[in-house]
Amino acid sequence: MAEGESEMIRRKKPPPTTNDMPTPPRPAANQSADPAAKESTTRTRFGSVVVRVARVTLVAYIVWLVALWFVQDRMLFLPQVAGIGLTEDAIAEEPRIVRRWLAQDDGVETEAWLVRALPAGRTPHGLVVFTHGNAELIDHTLHEAEEWTQRGYDVLLPEYRGYGRTPGTPGEARIVADVLAHLDAELATRGARPVVLHGRSLGTGVATQVAARVAERNSDTRIPTPITALILESPFTSIAAFAAGYGAPAFIVRHPFRTDEVLPNLACPILILHAREDEVVPIAHARRLGSLQPRATLVELDGSHNSGISADPAYWNAIDRQIGHPAVQR
């Protein structure tokens, strides 16, 4: 081989390797090789976000319901707002107040006051059981008691558990049972007589439940307790009806006070008194109750929930018509 050819062979380049081959251009980052795959990915991510939001919302709602379950009693029963009431000396200065302490079936002693009818010594027309609102005590209801005594009625003022001087924890079943026990004790002491149940606000739920219990007992006894009137001031259809305003189902309410379920079955005369501008229990509640019970009389008055409609002469005029009593001169 010639020397020139040998030199050409030595200098000849090796064939190109794979790494030396030119790289084809890559698609731009914002371009998708598969639009359908990109849309599917977007939907998956959106679905994951929706699921996470739904889970957080559900957990938050459950926490809210649990909180309502534990705090509802403090929202419904307000003995701390009602205060401590009259002192022992002040009570002693009221000569017509007869204090009753009654041991209930669970051993708790509950208080009630009996205010005697006027004029003293005359046989009373009957017994009024007055059940107060959720931010009151029996101490605050002496005005109503005085009005009734002027009409010739004895007045029984039972206190709720946890209120005033009465120990214990309030609750629908216990309050109703306690009021019934005080009523029975008074009738046993002074004999059977006509009974008027008069409730205000929360007390309307109590009075209605007591009326239902008395009606049930009357059907099983030879000596019934005549309920001559059920008077409801600022009543609600039920406490359960307020649950929706807190975003909660009705079944979460432990003390429902279902007046709307009881009232249609009562045979006694019923008077409903309600303020048109009531901001706590809208008058729609009273109108609804009136529609459920054709025998009920609804009287709408000026004022609000806490304006003291019982001081309005029209309030007592309506009661006088209901019980067939001449109007009291003022």
Q: Annotate 145-200 with DSSP letters as a single string.
A: HHHHHHTTEEEEEEPPTTSTT--S---HHHHHHHHHHHHHHHHHHH----EEEEEE
Query: What distance in Å separates the CA atoms of residue 227 and residue 218, rounded to the nearest whole number?
Result: 10
Q: Confidence band (pLDDT; 50, 70, 90) for 17? A: low
Q: Confidence band (pLDDT; 50, 70, 90) for 68? A: confident
How confident is the model over 217-228, as a mean pLDDT? 84
- Considering the four listed CATH numbers 3.40.50.1820, 3.30.70.360, 3.40.640.10, 1.25.40.10, the one that applies to the domain covering 79-323 is 3.40.50.1820
Secondary structure element (H or E) that encloses residue 68, with its range: helix 35-76
Percent of the chain residues topping a pLDDT of 70: 88
How does pLDDT run across 276-314, given as a tens digit for each residue? 999 999 999 999 999 999 999 999 999 999 888 998 999
What are the CA-CA distances from residue 330 to residues 113, 122, 200, 319, 320 (Å)?
Answer: 25, 21, 23, 15, 13
How does pLDDT run across 73-102, given as a tens digit for each residue? 999 999 999 998 999 999 999 888 999 999
Query: What distance in Å separates the CA atoms of residue 143 and residue 94, rounded to the nearest whole number?
Result: 13
How does pLDDT run across 154-186, given as a tens digit for each residue? 999 999 999 999 999 999 999 999 999 999 999
How confident is the model over 210-217, as a mean pLDDT? 95
How does pLDDT run across 31-41, given as a tens digit for each residue? 555 777 777 77
With a cut of 70, say whether residue 19 has pLDDT above it.
no
How does pLDDT run across 39-56, given as a tens digit for each residue? 777 777 777 888 888 888
Q: Confidence band (pLDDT; 50, 70, 90) for 9? A: very low
Q: Which position has the higher pLDDT, 83 or 1? A: 83
How confident is the model over 191-201, as a mean pLDDT? 95
